[in-house]
Structure formats: C-alpha cells, structure tokens
A and B are shown apart, each in its own frame.
Chain A
C-alpha cells in the first residue's frame, strides 16, 4: 500500500475541477491549469521515484477505501505503468503549455482546460487500474473528454469527424462491456491479478476466455488505431485542435497499446488452451494465439499507414496516416514477443515496443504541434500552398525536421534505438518476414517525410508563407520537444533500462499477482 499511487489521479482531478470553477477568470484558469500540469508531472515523477524502475522496480498496489484485493478496486503502479506515465506526463505538459497560446481565449474559457485535465484523469486511471471493469470506466472518462475536444471547433468537417468517432467508440464501449461481463461470468472475478491467478491454476474453461479476450482485443485495437480499426484516425486527428491531436496520437493511442501489453502479456498469457485445435495455432499459452493476429495487424497498419501518408496533400493528413503506420511499428515487436516462447526475446520485444511508444509519443506530439504552428503562421497546412518554410521559420522547420528524423530513425535520436530494437527483436526471433515488413515500413517513412520536407519546407517561399508570422511561444514548445528527443537519444541508456524494467514487469506475472493480492491482505 503506497498512497503515492493515487497522487497523479488526484492532481489531475483537482485541476480539472479547479479550472471548471474558475472559467470566468481566464488568467486564473490558465495559471491553475499550467500549475496543475506541472503538479501532475511532479506527482508522476514522485511515483516513478517510489517505483524506482531503474533499481528496485517495486510494484505498489492501492486498495480503494481499504477493501482488500479481489473485492475492492485496486490501483497498481509497477515499472510498466511508471514508464507509460512518465512519458505521457511530459508530452501532456508540452501540449498543455502550447494550447494556452494556440487555443483562442473564448475556447479556453468555455471548456478546454477542464476537458483536457479530465482526459488526463482517464489516461492516468487506465494506466494505473488493476481491475478490468474499472479500466472500462477510465476509458469512458478519457473518451468522453476526447469526444468534446475532437469537436472543439464545431465546423462542418469537425462535426462529421466527431460523429464518426463518437458512434464508433460507443459501439466499442458496448463491446468492451460485453467482453468484461462475459469474463466475469466465466471466471467470477474482475481483479486482474485474481484473474491471472485463476487462469494460471487452470480451473476455467479455455474456450470462452479465448473468445471473450479476443472481443476485448478488438476494442483495444480500436483505441490504438490498428488496421482494420484505423478508419476513424485521419478524420478525427484533422478535426481536433493541434495540441489535442498531439495528445490523441502521442498519449491516448498508447493507452490502447498499454492495455494490450498489460492484459495479454501479464494476465491472459496465464491461460492455456492446449486442447483447442485451431488452424495456424501452435503453443500452449493463450498469448501465442495472438501472435499471428498482432503480426497481421501490425503489417497491415505499417502498409496502410505508410502508403496512405505518401499520398496525402496536407501535413495533418500525412501525420495522421503516419501515426497508423507507426503504431504498427509498436505492435510488430509485440507480435514477435507473443509468438516467441523464449523469455529473452519476449523481454526484448516488449521493451522494443515500449521504447517505440515513447519515441512515437514525443516525435508525433512534436510534429502535430509543429503542424499547428505552421497553420498558425501560414493559415494552411496544404502542401500546394506551402513551400520555403525553412527560410521563413528556421527554428520551427528545424524542429519539424528533428521530429521527422526521429520517426525515420537517425542515430543520435530516440527513434534510431526504437527501430534498432525492432530489427533486433525480429532478427533474434529469426523472423525474416518481420524484418521485411519493418524494412518496407522504414522506407515508406523516409519517403513520406522527405516528400513533406521537399514540398513544405524547401524551395521558394510561397506567397502565403512570405506573409506569415510565427508566434515565438508556440515555436518554443516545439523546440523544447525537439531538444527532449535529442536528449532522450543521447541518454538512451536510462530510457532502455526503464523500458526493460517495464517489459520485465509486464512479463513477471507472479510478482504482479503477489503484489496485488498480498498487498491487499496487509493493508
């Protein structure tokens, strides 16, 4: 029992309410919002310091209202949640600082800040919860805020995109509820650790668990924007304000990835489904069943995202499609880890996915913010109207370049190590197919970013670009994120050890069970 576990949640919740109460006083609201954002980062890092992923790698569980583990709601902080939280907190602070300038005063006064912090409450809760129904509730908290943020500008295109996003996610929520209800009926528990223990002991029927976990998987894939559930991504990202797109791509998508890692690698991998004869299925663990599925989805995402991005004519659309492709890169090592029975390759695969998630969070956050700054400067993000930005706004263009290089994977930046680990995992698992997919994806990334660079940033400045004027504060946030990417790349040793600790936490089921169930008894 460690009280710090709920600290980030409380900070975000209190900030959300405080900004709601002070919405009549714009300056006070903005100040409170920023203070809350800083406080959130502080709370997250205090929690991370307690968890200590680089050293002791503790796992803390917090029983809400002191109800012991299988009965009450448990919040769990381990190295995996700590890793996800620590990079989400930094990106969210950057996007928040950016939005205080980018979103107009009226928008900020109406609802922007409370919604933003409620979204962070949902994200934090999803990372920390140890209860599958509670996970559903946090997803809803996160999604409810994101619905309103996507439709924030309320123009014709925005309402259309939001409608699609809302209906799709509502159906997704119903499906998630079905899967959770079914799992409860089959196993008689909602607590993840208890569920893992029950599945491990083998007392439950394997077929319903397999089916229901697959149903749940579809929901997580929808949140992560994996092919074939990617179709909402481009419209929603283009409709949302730039800092919100940065959050959706950088952080909210990662919640889906986190849920896949947590539930399928820690919990459902405990189940064995040996007696079910399914085509193309080998191995005893339920996890192995998801290997080929993850692989197919990752491959399709990389190809659809890559080719889609090459064909786009505006920066936002290109980034949205690129985001589909990059999530494929996160899931590809997970597929390798799920298929491989070897524990070193499993650890490597999950660690590669975590590193790539961090890299994509920072780089895509930066790129969306840069795209917003370009829009702010020029008034458009369509390539035919752009050109010569590197002359007009060198710092902004340079930062965009750094973000693009990070996603392409150029050595000193964090993206290089992400790609290296993906290739390493594929190579060690001996999967030539995975290597080929990763290679094609990497080439596509180079193709669409060099196209974006050539058409938007190089050459003669267009008329619109010549008359544009960029705001220093927006560019400053973008520049800070670019510096962060460089720093993360140079100090990669720390990032990798944290990711490895996260991967170990994800794969060490017994430690998770012990911590949650024993922790409850001593509460």
Chain B
C-alpha cells in the first residue's frame, strides 16, 4: 500500500492542476491564458513522471553502490522525457509571454473580448 499511495495523491494533484489550467485558458485575460497553458503543460509533465511509478529505488545505482540491493529501480526514462518536455515548455512559455506583450503594444489591451471587437 505504501508503494501506491503517492500515486493517488499525485493523481488528485494532477487532476486539480488540469482543472485549474483549463479554467485559466478559458479566461478573457491573455496573461491568464498563458498561465493556464503553462499550468496544463506542467500537469502533463507531472503525469509523465507519475507514469514511471515510484515503486523502486533511485535510478542511479552506480552512486553509493545501490543500497536498495535487489529492489527494482524506478524507471529513469520518464525523467529524461520530462526534462526534454520542460525545456520545450520554457521556450514556448517565453514565446507566449513575448506575444502577450506584443498584443498589448498593438491593441493596448490584453482582453480577448476587446480584441475580438476591434478586428
């Protein structure tokens, strides 16, 4: 049971992050939309880590001689995947923020509703 419990906690956390992200993406304020998108992508990253499971010992057995003995190792691959996804996320979030600033410069507002009216 101890091995599975963190997964339930994580499932709940991921679910609430997705809910929060979706809520923010549907806002009128562009900054909140960008927040929402980055929260959704972080939730996806957390989901990816969770998919590896937390049943085993640390992935790096070489350091410290692997105190877990014969215990299984937590899947290190998903952590590599998440690192890649986080780096990509940095880039896209930065771009989205620059774009938000640009929208403010062009239109003088970051309200999507007003943007729609003026076009």
Contacts and interface: CB of A to CB of B under 8 A. Distances in A.
A177 B30 contact: no
Given A154-B102, A181-B78, A144 B51 contact: no
Contacts of A154: 102, 106
A163 interface: yes
Interface in A111-169: 133, 136-137, 140, 144, 147-148, 151, 154-157, 159-160, 162-163, 166-167
Main secondary structure of the interface of B (DSSP, over half): helix
Contacts of A174: 37, 40-41, 43-44
B92 A144 contact: yes
Q: How large is the interface on A (under 10, 10 to 19, 20 to 34, 35 or more residues)?
A: 20 to 34
B31 to A, nearest CB: 12
A178 interface: yes
A214 to B, nearest CB: 17
Main secondary structure of the interface of A (DSSP, over half): helix
Q: Which of A136, A170, A184 counts the most B-chain CB atoms under 10 A from its CB?
A: A170
Contacts of B52: 185
A171 interface: yes
Contacts of A160: 103, 115, 119
Contact of A163 (B51, B78, B91, B99): B99
A427 to B, nearest CB: 44
Contacts of A181: 44, 47-48, 51, 78, 81
A184 B92 CA distance: 24
A173 interface: yes
B66 to A, nearest CB: 20
A31 to B, nearest CB: 29
B95 A147 contact: yes
B37 A157 contact: no
A156 B95 contact: no
Contact of B102 (A137, A151, A170, A190): A151
B51 A133 contact: no
A148 B103 contact: no
A156 to B, nearest CB: 5
Interface in B32-60: 33-34, 37, 40-41, 43-45, 47-48, 51-52
A182 interface: yes
B107 to A, nearest CB: 6
B24 to A, nearest CB: 11
B34 to A, nearest CB: 8
Contacts of A144: 88, 91-92, 95
Contacts of B102: 151, 154, 159
A162 B99 contact: yes
Interface string B66-101: 000000000001100100110010011001100110
Nearest to B49: A181
Contacts of B96: 166-167, 170
A147 B97 CA distance: 13
A151 B99 contact: yes
Contact of A171 (B40, B85, B103, B119): B40
Given A178-B44, A181-B48, A171 B25 contact: yes
A178 B95 contact: no
A137 B88 contact: yes
Contact of B95 (A136, A159, A166): A166
Contacts of A184: 51, 77-78, 81
Contacts of A156: 106-107, 118-119
Contacts of B37: 167, 170-171, 174
18 contacts: A137-B88, A144-B88, A144-B92, A147-B95, A151-B99, A154-B102, A156-B118, A167-B34, A170-B92, A171-B37, A173-B41, A173-B88, A177-B47, A181-B78, A182-B51, A184-B77, A185-B51, A185-B52
Top 5 A-B residue pairs of the complex, sorted by shortest distance between their CB atoms? A185-B51, A181-B48, A174-B44, A177-B44, A181-B51
Given A156-B118, A166-B96, A181-B47, 13 more contacts: A144-B88, A147-B92, A160-B103, A160-B115, A162-B99, A163-B100, A163-B103, A166-B95, A167-B34, A171-B37, A174-B37, A177-B44, A181-B48
